[in-house]
Structures are given as C-alpha cells and as structure tokens.
C-alpha cells in the first residue's frame, strides 16, 4: 500500500488519520444547525483539533434531500471558513465536501488541501481542479445516483465489486487528469446509493477494497445503517455502533476516518493500533484487486 500525502504530511500504512466533520448547514442530520454560524463553525474546528483531528472536512450542503443550495450559496458558506481555518491552523489538513468543480476552485484558492467528492464523480471537472491546485481528492462510490437523493430499491449483483470498480476507476481517471496518486483516497460511501444491507456487506468486506492499494477512507459516523442495524436507534444514540464500525474498518486496513467526535475516534483507533502491533501474524496482500493501484513506496 502507498503512503498517503496531504499538505506535506505523510500517513504510512498502519497509521490512521482522523477527519472531523464541520457542517456549515442549517439542516445537518447530526448537529441540526449548531455549527451553521461562522463563529460556531470555527469553534467546532478548534474543538476537533484539540480532540486530535488531522483533517477537518467542511461541508456547505446537507447530503440528504432538503432545500436547494446553489453553488453561490455553497461558496458563501464554506470559502471564508476555509480561509479562516487555514490561517488559524496552518498545519491542519483542510478538506471540503463538495461535488461541484466551481466550488472546488474557490475553496482551493482559499486554502483547501483536499476535495471530498462524496457523490462519485458526477462533475468530472472536480478532478481537474484538484490537479490544477496540486491538492488531494476523495473518490467515492454513490452508485450513480443524483446528488442529494435517496436510492429507491437500488440493487447490485455484487455491491463490493461495484464499489471497487467505480472508485478505482475514478482514482485512475484522476491520475490521468494530473492528480498525484499519493493524494487520492477511495471511499465506499456507506449509505450513499446503498441500503443498510449493502452498507453492512461493505463493512464486512472492506479488506477487499484495502487490497486495491489505494488508501481507503470510511465515513460511517452516526449513519442510518448503524441506527437501523441496532433496532432503529436515533442519531444521538448511535455512538457505540459508530465506534465498533470504526474499529472493524481500521482492523481491515482503512486509513482515514470521517467522524463527528474526533477525540473518541482517536482513542478507539489507538487501541486498534496497539492490538495490530501485537498481533504476530497479519495477512499480507501481494497483489492488488480491482484495478491498477498507485506504485508502493
């Protein structure tokens, strides 16, 4: 597997990075607008850094259905915050959750280090923006669904094969566009274009995605599949399920973890790191699956 490089920092195989979520939205499923205000969002970034976040992922549009947010409004919500965070935390890796190239261009100029495309490459020009500014890109799987929509009776012959095929394809396309392979992550995107059964299968088979050689990001924090698996728990009761899923993902080799609670995730992953270090034999994958991986260091 490769070394992941973002903003001059290196994350080697076996090392984990915590990506904290900060939403400048009035209707987030998790915080319900608590960090919509500029000051509140900046304070949330400070708390995340204090809790051990390596990356902060700033979002200006709710992932699920809701009020229309055009590119100008998305830029208004995130660009100034990116600039302020860049000045306030010079070493912090700043990510922006967007699928729009025009938003990516503005936030890259403001100081973003990573574009988190959670909707699976619906705007191919986003990779070109990442290449132009020499920043990173997250290539996620959304099953080809339209951004901000929920799938209706979506089906896959083999969900993990589809995830690997699409994300590796997007990563290779990004490399062809000029994005550095060492700054690309792939993300199975639990719940995006998937039902709970699909998300659980991805969780069980995440090692297959890790075996491609591309660094894997997982974003499972407080998601619907966690709540449904635990009998329909509401968002504010999904923390334990989230931590369990993070640990299982880490054990299988995921590298970056997008979470709402950076401090508890950091603690849980420290335990996984120690357990893995004390395990005498761990499987070693000699050949990548699902497509060409970046050349190992």
In what side-by-side order are the strands of the sheet with 256-259? 184-187, 136-140, 114-117, 93-97, 55-59, 17-23, 256-259, 217-218
pTM comes to 0.92
pLDDT recorded at residue 284:
44
Q: CA 233, CA 146: separation in Å to the nearest integer?
A: 27
pLDDT recorded at residue 234:
96
pLDDT recorded at residue 288:
38
For the chain, what percent of residues have pLDDT higher than 70? 94
pLDDT class of 279 with cuts at 50, 70, 90: confident
The average pLDDT across 6-13 equals 95
pLDDT recorded at residue 1:
60
Give the pLDDT confidence of 237-262 residue by residue, as tens digits: 999 999 999 999 999 999 999 999 99
Architecture of domain 16-277: Alpha-Beta Barrel (3.20)
Domain ranges of the chain: 16-277
Q: CA 36, CA 15: separation in Å to the nearest integer?
A: 32
Residue 297 has pLDDT above 80, yes or no: no
pLDDT recorded at residue 278:
80
Residue 56 has pLDDT above 90, yes or no: yes
Residue 275 has pLDDT above 70, yes or no: yes
Phi-psi region of 52 (alpha: psi -120 to 50; beta: other; left: phi over 0): left
Residue 69 has pLDDT above 60, yes or no: yes
pLDDT recorded at residue 276:
87
Average pLDDT, the chain: 93
Give the pLDDT confidence of 165-186 residue by residue, as tens digits: 999 999 999 999 999 999 999 9
> Which stretches of 89-205 are DSSP H helices?
101-110, 125-133, 159-177, 196-204
Residue 43 has pLDDT above 70, yes or no: yes
Residue 285 has pLDDT above 50, yes or no: no
Q: CA 5, CA 15: separation in Å to the nearest integer?
A: 12
pLDDT recorded at residue 157:
97
Q: Tokens standing for 45?
A: 């970034």
For the chain, what percent of residues have pLDDT higher than 90? 88
The closest of 188, 185, 187, 189 to 215, measured between CA atoms, is 185
Give the pLDDT confidence of 128-164 residue by residue, as tens digits: 999 999 999 999 999 999 999 988 889 999 999 999 9
Give the pLDDT confidence of 204-232 residue by residue, as tens digits: 999 999 999 999 999 999 999 999 999 99
Q: Name residue 11's beta-bridge partners.
A: 4
The closest of 210, 227, 218, 120 to 174, measured between CA atoms, is 120
pLDDT recorded at residue 282:
53
């Amino acid at each position: 597997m490769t070394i992941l490089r973002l903003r001059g920092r290196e994350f080697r195989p076996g090392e984990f990075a915590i990506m904290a979520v900060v939403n400048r939205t009035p209707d987030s499923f998790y915080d319900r607008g608590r960090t919509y205000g500029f000051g509140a969002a900046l304070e949330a970034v400070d708390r995340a850094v204090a809790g051990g976040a390596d990356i902060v992922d700033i979002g200006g549009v709710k992932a699920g259905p809701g009020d229309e947010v055009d590119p100008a409004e998305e830029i208004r919500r995130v660009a100034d915050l990116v600039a302020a965070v860049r000045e306030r935390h010079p070493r912090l890796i700043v990510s922006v959750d967007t699928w729009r190239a025009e938003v990516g261009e503005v936030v890259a100029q403001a100081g973003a280090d990573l574009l988190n495309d959670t909707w699976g490459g619906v705007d191919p020009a986003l990779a070109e923006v990442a290449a132009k500014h020499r920043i990173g890109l997250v290539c996620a799987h959304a099953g080809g669904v339209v951004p901000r929509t929920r799938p209706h009776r979506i089906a896959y012959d083999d969900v993990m094969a589809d995830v690997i095929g699409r994300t590796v394809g997007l990563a290779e396309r990004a490399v062809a566009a000029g994005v550095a392979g060492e700054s690309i992550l792939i993300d199975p995107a639990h719940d995006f274009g998937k039902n709970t059964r699909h998300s659980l299968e991805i969780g069980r088979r995440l090692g297959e995605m890790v075996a491609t050689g591309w660094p894997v990001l997982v974003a499972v924090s407080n998601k619907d599949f966690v709540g449904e698996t635990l009998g329909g728990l509401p968002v504010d009761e999904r923390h334990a399920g989230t931590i369990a899923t993070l640990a299982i993902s880490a054990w299988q080799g995921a590298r970056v973890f997008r979470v709402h609670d950076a401090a508890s995730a950091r603690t849980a992953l420290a335990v996984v790191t120690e357990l893995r270090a004390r395990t005498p034999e761990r499987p070693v994958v000699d050949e990548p699956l699902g497509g060409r991986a970046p050349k190992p260091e």
